[in-house]
Amino acid sequence: MRAAWVLLPALAALSAYYVYLPLPGAVSDPWKLMLLDATFRAAQQMGHLIHYLRFSHHLIVLNYLISTFDLYQLESVSSEDIKVTDAVFDGVEVRVFEPPARGDESLKRGVVYIHGGGWALASARTSLYINLCRIMADSLNAVVVSIEYRLIPKACFPEQYHDALRATKHFLQPDVLAEYSVDPSRIAISGDSAGGNLAAAVCQQLSKEEDLTVRPKLQALIYPVLQAFDFNTPSYQQNRNMPVLPRHVMINYWLYYFNGNHDLAHALLINNHTALDVGQALSFRGRLNWTSLLPPSFKKDYKPVVQTTGTAEIIQKMPALLDVRAVPLLADNETLQLQPKTYVLTCENDVLRDDGAMYAKRLENAGVDVTLDHFHNCFHGCMIFTLWPTDFSAAFQTRSSYIKWLDENL
């Protein structure tokens, strides 16, 4: 009994220590975010332990936990309003959300949606994404195709990209669009985080293919990850410890995506891979010069981190670091000019804020019509967290702004 009086406060203090994180004052629902982050960290640590014991890959464990603790299991719930079917588009699994026919208006809009999760986590079957796709299908009267691309560790770059491209190209065929009653002139490609990366890369590739008869009207990128050249942009510096995506975790996802050696993580973190003496990187430097691409409110007092001497072998071992199919921000001006009207959503409390903001600026410089929708009080990944107990006001705020833009522009 006595022991309990000592143990309980000690446990409480320990849990508080585990959960508590200093967060910037402007983040909405800070306590909820700390709890979400602590849960996510605990799941990651359990994954690492199981990985260490060599039972399974930690990302497989994490994904297993995500699907097992998916409280809603929306997968098995059919809705009266939206028809949900699974299909295979050119060998790639997809989940299709179709709104019912409405009166005489026969053709619908179309949205290709690519979910996020570091090319490793979540699924088109995760309730949070099913919920998002349903709401989009319903509020936009759109057929939403959610791509179930293969994930790390089963697949790495360029497999995820190829899956996303193949499924999208299959959908864009006139006879397939006709089958789903989709208007070929009203199609958007969209995705969040790593899905935003794939969406941007797919859009670039489609714009370069001359024999396509149907092209997307829009792209909408939600806090996309777009470059692995500079891990010291102002947002990477400012948010390096921010939940749910601290800088070292993002670097690890890149290393997994490229099937790279994790011993290189620190070299990447200090930009050794793109030092001034690394010849292959030089010509790309001007394409993501944040001192000219970002507004002063983003740059604040942060200084560029540019090494004079670095490690040239990193890019030799991982040439994908400079491959535009993985890092769409490094595309040339000619490709950028061909991009459709673009929406980019960014969050202030996100290492990837500047990836999105720099892409928006480069597209704008290339003459593309761009909307940069920036949220001061939001964090990376927030838009999908609309279901209790992980329901954040940031989610509703960003989601309604995103859907509103699509509604007005698609």
Residues identified as active-site: 193, 350, 380
The 10 Å Cβ neighbour count of residue 15 is 11
**Of 164, 167, 188, the residue nearest 176 (C-alpha):** 167
Q: Which is nearer to ligand NAG, 8 or 270 (CB)?
A: 270
Q: Which is nearer to ligand NAG, 139 or 365 (CB)?
A: 365
Q: Which is nearer to ligand NAG, 67 or 335 (CB)?
A: 335
The reply on whether position 310 binds ligand NAG by CB under 6 A is yes
Q: Which span sits near ligand NAG by CB under 6 A: 37-45, 73-81, 137-145, 309-317?
A: 309-317
Which of 22, 25, 279, 286 touches ligand NAG by CB under 6 A? 286
The reply on whether position 401 binds ligand NAG by CB under 6 A is no
The reply on whether position 221 binds ligand NAG by CB under 6 A is no
The reply on whether position 289 binds ligand NAG by CB under 6 A is yes
Q: Which of residues 44-83 bind ligand NAG (CB under 6 A)?
A: none
Give the nearest distance from C-beta 269 to ligand NAG in angstroms.
Answer: 8
User: CA 1: distance to chain centroid?
Assistant: 50
Q: Which of residues 243-282 bind ligand NAG (CB under 6 A)?
A: 266-267, 270, 272
The reply on whether position 141 binds ligand NAG by CB under 6 A is no
Number of residues located near ligand NAG, criterion CB under 6 A: 14
Give the nearest distance from C-beta 51 to ligand NAG in angstroms.
Answer: 24
Give the nearest distance from C-beta 347 to ligand NAG in angstroms.
Answer: 25
Q: Are 145 and 222 contacting, i.e. CB atoms less than 8 angstroms apart?
A: no
Residue 199 backbone dihedrals phi, psi, to 5 degrees: -60, -45
Q: Which is nearer to ligand NAG, 333 or 400 (CB)?
A: 333
Print the binding letters for residues 352-371 with ligand NAG: x by CB under 6 A, - otherwise.
Answer: -------------x------
Q: Which is nearer to ligand NAG, 305 or 387 (CB)?
A: 305
Give the nearest distance from C-beta 289 to ligand NAG in angstroms.
Answer: 4
Q: Which of residues 153-212 bind ligand NAG (CB under 6 A)?
A: none
The reply on whether position 311 binds ligand NAG by CB under 6 A is yes
The reply on whether position 335 binds ligand NAG by CB under 6 A is no
Binding site for ligand NAG (CB under 6 A): 266-267, 270, 272, 285-286, 289, 291-292, 309-311, 333, 365
